[in-house]
Amino acid sequence: MKKILMIGGILVFFFAFCNIAFAKEDTLSSGWTGHGLYLLGDENISLNKVDINILVNDDRTSLVFAEYELENKQNKMVNAYLGVPEHEVNLQEFESRVTRKIQNDILSYRYGNYKVSGQEINKRIKRSDANYKGWRTWYAPFEPGEKRTVKISYKVENKEISNGRYLISFQLEHINTWKGNPKNIHVKVFFDNQEVKPYNFGNTFSIKPDSIQDNFTLNWNLDSLQKDQSIDFDYYYIDQEINNFLKSATSSKLKSIARAYESKEYSQVIEQGKKYIEDSKGENFQKEVYFLMADAYLQLGQPEESLILYELIEGEPIFYKGFQQKVQEFITYNKIKCYLQKEDYKTMYRLILKIQEDKTYNFIFKDWAKKETKEIPIETIKQVEKENREPNVVEKLYLRISNGKHNNIMMIILGVFLFLMSVFYIRYKRKKEKNTLFKK
């Protein structure tokens, strides 16, 4: 009995280990949260304007550049104590600068900052119940009535919160702790990756952007803020995640295909992919290889081959659990590009309309797809919309009859109609003959 229990325990441990080693499971993390500038005291300094810029890099890091226009409302000089929370993340390359206007020049001075425990700072903040672990702090002098712009910048590592999913977040509640009521609050998020696509974004946005510019730059223009409000959205490093997944496989052939794909050697991807499919004989990762080959064909200007491969794998489980929707969005994005290359505008427009109705696609993807309609001839759009128009009652009946429906009913109606016509005709003829007879 003991031997059986021991063997069972070993098997349980073995399978548990296998699951850890070979299955990519969700990881628990709060992601990272960027923080802005606080006044660590009760001086009469007002916040007039805020500009926050966040650059999301393709190496899973983000850079924060923020500017705060401050004004000393007192009739005396104030040495303001300023700070930025350093909470649960390391603020790398942190820098603080304060501008000063001297005659017609605006000079920017770099201020040294110190790491201070949260216990010393949290209680200093007015109108907030902040409880941060640490702070970066410094002093900056303000002349009576003087306006100065405080500039901060730092770098943080983005943290994965589930399979391939990262939280990009910036806390805005610090703005409400200042005196004054700034109406000019601008937040802009850029993406360093030149190949950022609509499928990189998730469905979760705490505050929807006011506009989306080129390269998917997101803009927020805010007049007021509610308590504990923040800019939060999900971001997926799809291309890197796909490459890392395949390069982590034990097969040297798969690693070689992944390296060729990462290097954009698309001819090699197709050549090696064909060889892998031919030699694999039903082994794993065939669908993943087809996925890379389909993208490679599109990049080489062969959309027909790309669409054939997508037909083989679309809707199939591919890569790992929790990543399926993003893979589907990747395929949909490429299919639109394929139809555009083929000049199959009708199919392209129908797919775009389908995306608009599908709740699984985020509004950024839908916005991109809608903008792609500018590539479609207006005649094609009108034709598809005419074909999609809901027919009226008469048109519906005609369509149903032309499709062979209601044949029996129509034969009965036609028979009754002909019978009635015959009766009326006979009656009409007899009446006419009778009238003719009386005339004679």
Task: Inform me whether the pLDDT recorded for 102 exceeds 60.
Answer: yes
Q: CA-CA distance, 36 to 114, in Å (whole number)? A: 16
Average pLDDT over residues 166-178: 90
Q: CA-CA distance, 69 to 51, in Å (whole number)? A: 9
251-265, 300-314, 346-360, 386-400: least confident range: 386-400
Beta bridge partners of 107: 100
Q: What are 343-385's pLDDT values in tens digits? A: 999 999 999 999 999 999 999 999 999 999 999 999 999 999 9
Q: What was the pLDDT predicted at 22?
A: 33
CB 336 within 8 A of CB 351: yes
pTM equals: 0.78
Task: Inform me whether the pLDDT recorded for 434 exceeds 70.
Answer: no
Q: Which has the closest alpha carbon to 216: 203, 232, 200?
A: 200
Q: CA-CA distance, 405 to 398, in Å (whole number)? A: 10
Q: What was the pLDDT predicted at 182?
A: 80
CB 170 within 8 A of CB 107: no
Q: Which of 31-35, 183-187, 234-238, 353-357 has the highest mean pLDDT?
A: 353-357
Q: How far is CA 413 from the centre of its chain?
A: 57
Q: What percent of the chain has pLDDT over 70?
A: 84
Tokens of 333: 């994005």
Q: CA-CA distance, 30 to 165, in Å (whole number)? A: 11
Q: What was the pLDDT predicted at 7?
A: 41
pLDDT confidence band for 431 (50 / 70 / 90): low
Task: Inform me whether the pLDDT recorded for 15 exceeds 50.
Answer: no
Give the end-to-end CA distance of the chain in Å, rounded to a whole number: 124
Q: What are 182-219's pLDDT values in tens digits? A: 888 999 999 987 778 999 999 889 999 999 998 899 99
Handedness of CA 337, 342, 343, 349 (dihedral sign): negative
CB 237 within 8 A of CB 58: yes
Alpha-helix runs per DSSP H in 104-181? 118-121
Q: Which has the closest alpha carbon to 222: 234, 212, 235, 209?
A: 209
Tokens of 400: 């149903």
Judging by DSSP bridges, how do beta strands 165-171 and 160-162 pair with one another?
antiparallel
